[in-house]
Every structure is written in structure tokens, then in C-alpha cells.
A and B are shown apart, each in its own frame.
Chain A
Amino acid sequence: MPATDLLRLSYYGFTAASVAVVAAAAFYFMDVLWLARSPKLAVAAGPLETWRAYATPPTASGRLASTTVGIATLFAGLAVALRALATGRGPYSDMYEFSVAFVFVALLGYFLLERSYGIRPIGTIALPVILGMVAYVWSLPPSVREDRGLIPALSNKVIMTAHVSSAVIAYAAFALSFAAAVLYLVVTRWPRSWLPSAELLDEVSFRAVTIGFPAQLMLLILGSLWAHMAWGGYWSWDPKETAALFTWIVYGGYLHARTLRGWRGTRSAVYLTVAFLAVVFTYFGNYWFGGLHAYSGM
């Protein structure tokens, strides 16, 4: 199949994923409303039972939301894979490819998180974050959907793919930890039996950081390895580099506070909510930075 057809298919895949994300966000919202109106669905519980069955109660709207997320993940994955097939490289040439990949990994991460913890209400926060990224992709000029090739500086496919994949994983994980932290703040102020326990949300946000923090480290290492191979300088104090380092150190601070000083609960959640600003700042950094990552802007 010619590359242009693959690119078009990839675009259709992303369109389908976008529609599914909009629908999923709506379903999660409906699910929360439904749960809020049906207190009888609450998990019956002695403390030991809550440890065994901590999952949120299954509802029709909830199942619909989860299925829609599955569909969105599938289509977003197709969009990334078809584009990679057409261009013969990973999704790193510009903000369009990068953001489509981000949408995919964030959806996949959320999907797995929901499966392993069996808690749905995080979707009410996570899906709007992903929806925001989808909206951002649609706000980019249509010309970005074509394959514009690579400038010479970017033509190291293996390291670039790994470098950018790390970034996508890190940012998606931090986005999920943000969603869990926000929900934590909601739950502690507005406790409802059908919402996940505060302790569980604290755990989920922490687990997400234990994925994001090493991924952010890989991003920094692979970035400097690549800079070393391409330019002879492993570190240039380029604003995007230092912004990524800043993000890493901010989350490093969280890990120390949590594991060594026993920061749990509200303090942790507020910290993670604010820390996510650093991620947003780094992600869109090339709009307000010059420097070595400037070409990846639009």
C-alpha cells in the first residue's frame, strides 16, 4: 500500500479515536452521575472485604465507558502504527506525531490502570485530560498530517524512537498520577461510598509516578546519549533539556517526601497536582523556548 494511503488511514484512525475519546469522556461523566444517584450500589463492606473487593461497582454506563476507552485505545494505536509504517520511523518528527502517540499511550495506560485496580471514577478526570490533548491535535494546521520527512539532526531512528517513546510514557504516567491526585482531593472533601478510597487513589498516583519517573530519566539519558552522538555535547543547558530535568527533579522531590518522610494524602495530592504544571510546561515548551528542540514546534 502506498505511503499516502497509510497516512490517510492513520488519520482516519485518529479521527475514530477522537470520536471515541469524546464519547468515553461523556460516558464516564454519566457513570459518575448515575453512581451519585444510586447509593444502593455502594460496595458493602467490612474493612477486610474492602481489601478484597475494592473495585467500583459495575454499572451499564461504566461498562460502556470502559469499552469505549478500549475502542479509542485500539484506534489511536492503529493511527500510530500506520503512520510509523508509512514513515518508517517512530512518532517523533513533530508535535502532531508526538501528540497522537501521547493520546495512545495515555489511553493505554488508563485502560491498564482501570483493569488492574478495577476503579472507574479516575476516568472522569483522566479522559478530559486526554480529550484536551485530542483537541490540541485538531487545532494543529492540517498540513502536519502529511509526512514532512526529517531534518538531518533528527535522523537517528532507533535512539529518537526510544527517546520520544520515553517522553510519551513519562508524560502519560504523570497525567494519570495527576488525575488520581485530583480525584483524591475530591474524595477527601466529598466522600462517597462509590468513589475509590482515598488510600487507593494515593497508591494509584504513586504507582503512576513510579512509571513516569524512570521513564523521564530514560528520556533524559537517551536525549543526552543522542546529543552526544550527534553533536558531541551530551548536555547543552538547552531550555527544553533543563525543563525536562526540572520536571524530573520535581517528581524526585515527591518520591523522597512520600517514601522517606511519609507524605501521604492531601499534601501528596496537592504536590502532584502542581507538579503536573511542570509537565505541561515542558510538553509545550518548544512554543516558548528557542534552542535545540525548536524545530519540533509547528
Chain B
Amino acid sequence: MIAVVVDRTWRFFCSVRAALYEIIFLAVLILIGTLKGSVIPAQIPRFVPALEPLVARWYAFDVFHSLIWTMTLTLLAVAITICTINRVPGIWHAIAQPTVVTNRQFFRMAEPAVVERSPDPPDAVAQDLVAILRARRYRVLTEQRGSDIHVYADKNRWGNLGTFPFHLALILLLAGGIVGSELGFRETMFTVAEGATRNVGRGTNLRLELERFVDSYSQIGTPTEYRSDVILYDGDQEVQRASLTVNNPLTYKGVTFYQASYGQAAQIEVKEATGNVAFAAAVPFDYVSRSNGDAPAGMVDLPAQGRRLELFFPNLKLDAKPEIGTIKLQSGELYAQARDARTNAKIGEGAVIAQGDAARLGGLDVQFVRERRFTVLQVAYNPGIPILFSAAALLVIGLAITFYFPHRRMRALVSAAGGESEVVLAPLAKRDWGAKRDFVRTLTAIEARFGPATLWGRSSHAGD
């Protein structure tokens, strides 16, 4: 019983038909996920309003992180493994021990089967044929049966192996993806203000300091470069200085820092009434105002003082400036509001602070020292990368072998016929035009020795 189930399962996975269905199903899933990113689904309810709920579910469905996606990939991985293992004996047989002996039925079915005649004895004819084929880089195997000499010739037999690196690579791609997501990390919003230093964390001992952020523009205003000048520390040790631009990341001990985005920051100094400095650093404005999504906002937490400061810059968009409308905020100014650190309740009124000025908020002196920038980096550590790019190389190698070194095979039968020798030749190229053309090209060399060939079974009497 169990044997039957195992056998059935094995056969299911081996079947090319099942593989095709799996490939098509995977393609459909990818199409569903791809179209989600387009305007196409949104158009559907305009024509068929009843489908609106379905379209809404479509937009809500994250195919590439769904259970069905994982299951399909798992199924494919299993199928690829089993299919590939299953093909080993057949491919190995074709490479190492091809069947040399043939019969006339083969030539009757083959196209084009041709015949050559020679007054020389079969031995000599076979010898010449073998020499011609070997000169054209064929491996030639012969076997004598009675007075008949069977010839098998092939070229690029190792090309059959191309399928193995290719399919192994597909499995490696999945493995690399899993290794990367399980053992690696990727932080997409690693924000550091100019002059500030930030811990990378995640089990590393790294700290990154941003010295300066520079953005340059062309004459017509398109951005040409975003650059972060950074210093990397491992523990307390400075290990690297680098200028990060979009295509020039910094890698240290497998952790890579990429330039991603940038924004405004403010150098803020907060003093207690005693003159004691409670805070002095650049604050990245990496939030936005609740009442205006275009106004950058920053936050300073001061737990020791029981305070939190909310800071706002003017609206970035020139055509709509509600912050300026209500608070009269101008360029070079910020708006600050003190809140209770625990309850988040407002403490007193907020204040507009110009660059270089200070204001008293919630019992603290808050100084806006100067405008600064912050950079947004991506920090990634992906141990799966070497696996992935090895897989990529294997994919390319596998395909190149399979497509550009196709296995070419032919058979010949040399026999004595009425005092002369007859050679029947045909390619193993069922419905394969390219293989047939190669055969006809090789035939030209054979004809140079034996004279023009004729189609077997037409102008010859070789048919039995």
C-alpha cells in the first residue's frame, strides 16, 4: 500500500505534464502579483461593477508573501529534485553506454535516412566512415553482428548534463532566499543626522557617524548625486571612512550601507533652568506633522526631564503652506511644542524659533542652533548572497551547455549487399530540424568519400 502511494507520488512529480502545470500555475500567481502593481485591476469594476469586491481583495492580497506562494515554490522544489534525479539514469545511459546495435525499423522511421554504396568490403567502408565522423569530432562506437557493422556516432554528449546545474541552481535560489531571510537582516530606514552617530545593533558592534550629507543638481534641476560622508566604528575603533552614493555602498564584515534617501534635520540644544545641558545633537525630521503630511517633523525625548519636544519645519510644498498659514512659519524657522513624556499632554503654548534663537518651553531652554541634513541609509546583511549569485552563474552555465551544445546523434548500418557494401545512415532527430540540418552537413563529408547519397528506400533496394 505504502509502496503504491510512494510510487504514485514519485510518478506524479516525475511527469513533465505535472511540471508544466506547476510552471503555468507559478506564472499565473506571478501575473496576479504583477498586475496588482498596475492600474489594470482598478479598471475592471468600471466595466463589471459586480467584481468590485474581488478587485478589492486582489489589492489586499500579497501574493509573494502568501501561503499559496510558499507552497507552490516548495512543490516546485520537490518536483525539480525528483524529476532531475529521475532523469539521471537515462541521461547517463545516453552518455556512457548508448545502444550501438540498431535495426532496419529505425531507418524506416527516421528522416532523412540515406544510403551510400561502395565496391569496398564492409570492414574497409566502416573504417572510412568512422574516420570521417571522428574527424568531425564525433564519438564513434561500432559493433559487429554477423556480417553487419552497426555504427553509433554522437557529438556534445556532455551537453545532456546542462540540465543538472540549471535545475540545481533553481533549488539553490530558493535556498539562498531562505538563508537570507532567516539569517540576514535589512533595515530600510536607517536614519542618521549630520554630526550624529548611530548604533547598527542586530548583533553587530558597529556604529555609523554622518559627517555631512550633500545633494547636487543639474542646471535644469534633476538631481545628479546624493552623497553621505560617513565614518564607521567597530566598537570604539574607527574602521572606515567613506562617501556613500546611490551606486557605491560601503561593506564591512558583510554588513552593507546603501544610500537610500535624505531629509532635513536641526541641531538642537536643550538646557535645564540650571544651565545643565540636557540634549545637544542633530535631530532628524523623519516624521511628518499630523495635521500636514508635507511638513517634516522631528522629536526629542527627554525622559530625565519628563519632557518630549515636538519640532516642525515649514511645508516643503510651496503651493500649500498650512503651517505658515496657521503658525506663520517661515523658511529658516521651526515650531516647537513641549509635551509631558508620560501622558503626552501639551505643556504650555508652542513657540516659533528662528535659526540661532532659543525659546523657553516646558521649563527648558530650547535652542535651534542651525539647520542640518539627515541621511537615510539601508543597512543589509545577507549571508544568502553568495549562494544566490553562485546559483545565477550555474543557471547561465546550464543554459549555455543545454542550448549551444546540443547532443547530436546518428546511426549507420554497414552491410554486404550483392558483392558491394551498403551503408544506411540516419540521424536520431525525430521532428528536430536543427539536428537534421547538422546531419545533412555531415553527410556532405561522407559523400566526398562515397559519392552522392540517395534517400533510403527510394532509389535503393536496401529495404527488406
Contact = CB atoms under 8 A, between A and B. Distances in A.
A200 B436 CA distance: 10
A236 B433 CA distance: 41
B27 interface: yes
Interface stretch (B199-207, B278-286, B377-385): B377-385
Contacts of A264: 431
B246 A230 contact: yes
B145 interface: no
A297 to B, nearest CB: 12
B23 A253 contact: yes
A246 B27 contact: yes
A233 B186 contact: yes
Interface in A112-155: 148-153, 155
Contact of A249 (B26, B245, B258): B26
Given A230-B246, A233-B380, A242-B64, 6 more contacts: A46-B455, A149-B222, A155-B246, A231-B260, A239-B38, A253-B24
Interface stretch (B95-103, B264-272, B338-346, B394-402): B394-402
A206 B431 CA distance: 12
A151 B389 contact: no
Contacts of A203: 432-434, 437
A242 B19 CA distance: 20
A229 interface: yes
B455 A239 contact: no
Interface in A210-262: 210, 213-214, 217-218, 221, 224-225, 228-234, 237-239, 242-243, 245-246, 249-250, 252-253, 256-257, 260-262
Interface of B: 16-17, 19-20, 23-24, 26-27, 30-31, 33-34, 36-40, 64, 111-112, 114, 186, 218, 222-226, 245-247, 249, 256, 258, 260, 378-380, 382, 385, 388-389, 392, 395-396, 399-400, 403-404, 430-434, 436-437, 440, 453-455, 458
Q: In the complex, which range does the number of interface residues on chain A fall in?
A: 35 or more
B37 A239 contact: yes
A47 B389 CA distance: 48
A159 B33 CA distance: 27
Nearest to A242: B34
27 contacts: A47-B455, A48-B114, A48-B454, A51-B436, A156-B247, A199-B431, A199-B433, A202-B433, A203-B432, A210-B403, A217-B396, A218-B396, A224-B388, A225-B389, A229-B247, A230-B246, A232-B382, A233-B380, A238-B37, A239-B36, A246-B27, A246-B31, A249-B26, A250-B27, A261-B16, A289-B37, A289-B38
Contacts of A257: 16, 20
B385 A261 contact: no
A189 interface: no
Given A231-B258, A242-B34, A152 B27 contact: no
A156 B246 CA distance: 9
A217 B395 contact: yes
Contacts of B379: 232
Given A237-B33, A290-B37, A152 B20 contact: no
Contacts of A234: 382, 385, 388
Contacts of A239: 34, 36-38
Nearest to A228: B385
A252 to B, nearest CB: 6
Interface string A40-63: 000000111001101000000000
Nearest to B380: A232
A214 B166 CA distance: 11
Nearest to A203: B433
Contacts of B249: 229-230, 232
Contact of A51 (B23, B39, B403, B437): B437
A207 interface: yes
Contacts of B31: 246
Nearest to A221: B392
A214 B389 contact: no
